[in-house]
Amino acid sequence: MKERKNKTLTAVAKIGWISAVKSCGAASRWLFHQPKEPAALRKLVK
Amino acid sequence: MITLLSKKLADFLCRKDIIDCENKEIYQYGYELLISDIIAFLLLTAAGILAHLIIETYVFYATIVLIRQFCGGFHASTYFKCNLTTLIIYALVMLMSQLLTEHDGVAGVNIILLGFYFVTAFAFAPVENKNKPLDAKKKIRARRMSFILGGIFSAASMGLLFVYERLSLVVSLTLSAVAMLMVIERYRNEEEFK
């Protein structure tokens, strides 16, 4: 049970990470609000 | 609310030792984007169902989502204003496409709308946002992609003229809306720097 919970949480974390990294090369995220991009992310993707 | 929810989720994962707490800010940012995308998608789906325009709605969504990644353009200051802007632009595109299909000369209108997109993209793309600066390499890539995708959508729009006029207009009107949003943001940026 605990292992399954960990796997699920890891998957949730991975989704968040991919969402952030994928948006890094784009001029804008899809629609009409752009939160401030973390400087750490920019450094990481470089 | 979206910011708070994303922060809580990132905090929770950090507390559970699932993520590196040093990168919490990146995870929070990722969730913020993801949640706002899901909300916008659901909102547009609901609007499409209510208006009985499901295919047109998804074509609008796909066009605006793909092209704005590279063109940039206007951004609202809050998520509420963002969703409101999305719905207003969606409503305008659907309304205009309905009105224009009732008249002759759709092909001519289509060419003018697509031309407007290309002229604007040539002049301004990509329009940077202060929350998301782009380095030179990314700018070149975004500019190139705005032309490539613009070309693909234009070809699709012209092709659709022979099959489904309204859908063709949805694509060209969406592209011209994106162009208009580039002009607005560019003008706002200039005002800010004055």
Q: What is the mean pLDDT of each run of 10 residues along chain B (194 residues)?
A: 87 85 88 88 94 95 91 84 89 94 89 96 87 83 93 95 93 95 86 65
- Look up the pTM and report it: 0.86
Q: Distance (Å, rounded) from C-alpha B55 to C-alpha B171?
A: 12
B45-76 tens-digit pLDDT: 999 999 999 999 999 999 999 999 888 888 88
Computed from CA positions of residues B54, A20, B74, B171, in that sequence, does the dihedral angle turn out positive or negative?
Answer: negative
For residue B73, the model assigns a pLDDT of 84
- In this complex, how many residue pairs, one in chain A and one in chain B, have their CB atoms less than 8 Å apart? 136
CB of B117 within 8 A of CB of B179? Answer: yes
CA distance B46 to B25: 32
User: Does B11 reach chain A within 8 Å, measured CB to CB?
Assistant: no
Contacts of B144 (CB under 8 A, 6+ apart): none
pLDDT at A19: 87
Chosen from A14, A33, A37, A42 to mutate, greatest number of chain B CBs within 10 A: A33
Whether B31 and A18 have beta carbons less than 8 Å apart is answered as no
Residue A32 has a pLDDT of 67
The minimum CA-CA distance between A41 and chain B, rounded to whole Å, is 6
Closest CA to B33 of B63, B72, B5, B71: B5
Determine the pLDDT at residue B144: 94
Residue with tokens 């950090």: B14
Distance (Å, whole) CA B108 – CA B91: 22
pLDDT of residue B134: 80
- For B16-76, the DSSP string reads TTSS-GGGHHHHHHHHHHHHHHHHHHHHHHHHHHHHT-HHHHHHHHHHHHHHHHHHB---B
Q: Of A6, A31, A40, which is closest to B82 when you measure between CB atoms?
A: A31
Contact B37 A44 (CB under 8 A): no
CB contacts of B129 in chain A (<8 Å) are 27-28, 34
Q: What is the rounded distance in angstroms from the CA atom of residue A11 to the CA atom of residue B34?
A: 14
For the CA atoms of chain B, what is the radius of gyration? 19
Q: Residue A46 has what pLDDT?
A: 67
| Residue segments in chain A with a per-residue pLDDT below the cut of 50 | none
Asked if B63 contacts B177 with a C-beta cutoff of 8 angstroms, the reply is: no
